[in-house]
């Protein structure tokens, strides 16, 4: 009888504990924004986004961000672009989502840009 009660208690604890699991997979990551794959050819060709009279060029780097960490700013050529919520003016980077939690970095080309890429 003790074994039966102990087993029942363990099952009850397991069932009660499972109610605490998040419906988003437990990691708090909620996908809100659409992923565009493959990236449009204009991005792969290094063409810029025009935003607020500035040209923002794609970089080879990406940032790992959740959708909760970015804010949509607008669309360019039908592709939404984003800003990291913690960024303030003047903005350092813009982003385009191309994978789960993967955002392509776009930056304004500076006079000191030593990149070998031809913009």
Q: Tell me whether residue 83 is in a domain.
A: yes
Would you state the pLDDT for residue 50? 95
Is residue 66 within 8 Å of residue 86, measured between CB atoms? no
Instruction: Residue 84: give the domain boundaries.
Output: 41-108
Would you state the pLDDT for residue 28? 52
Q: Tell me whether residue 11 is in a domain.
A: no
Q: Tell me whether residue 113 is in a domain.
A: no
- Total domains in the chain come to 1
Q: Tell me whether residue 36 is in a domain.
A: no
Would you state the pLDDT for residue 12? 45
Give the CA distances from residue 102 to residues 25, 31, 67, 76, in Å, rounded to whole numbers and listed in that order: 18, 12, 10, 18
Q: Tell me whether residue 86 is in a domain.
A: yes
Q: Tell me whether residue 13 is in a domain.
A: no
Q: pTM (2 decimals)?
A: 0.67
Mean pLDDT per block of 10 residues along the chain (119 residues) reads 53 45 47 80 94 95 96 94 95 94 92 53
Q: Tell me whether residue 2 is in a domain.
A: no
Residue ranges of alpha helices (H) inside 1-119 are: 2-18, 41-44
Report the distance separating Cα 76 and Cα 54, nearest Å. 13
Q: Tell me whether residue 33 is in a domain.
A: no
């Amino acid at each position: 009888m003790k074994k039966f009660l102990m087993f029942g208690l363990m099952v009850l604890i397991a069932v009660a504990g499972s109610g605490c699991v998040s419906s988003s997979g437990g990691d708090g990551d909620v996908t809100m924004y659409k992923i565009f794959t493959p990236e449009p050819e204009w991005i792969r060709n290094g063409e810029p986004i025009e935003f607020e009279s500035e040209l923002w060029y794609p970089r080879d780097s990406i940032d790992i961000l959740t959708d909760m960490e970015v804010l949509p700013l607008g669309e360019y050529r039908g592709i939404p672009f984003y800003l990291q919520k913690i960024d303030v003016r003047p903005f350092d980077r813009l982003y385009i989502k191309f994978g789960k939690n993967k955002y392509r970095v776009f930056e304004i080309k500076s006079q000191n840009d030593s990149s070998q890429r031809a913009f």
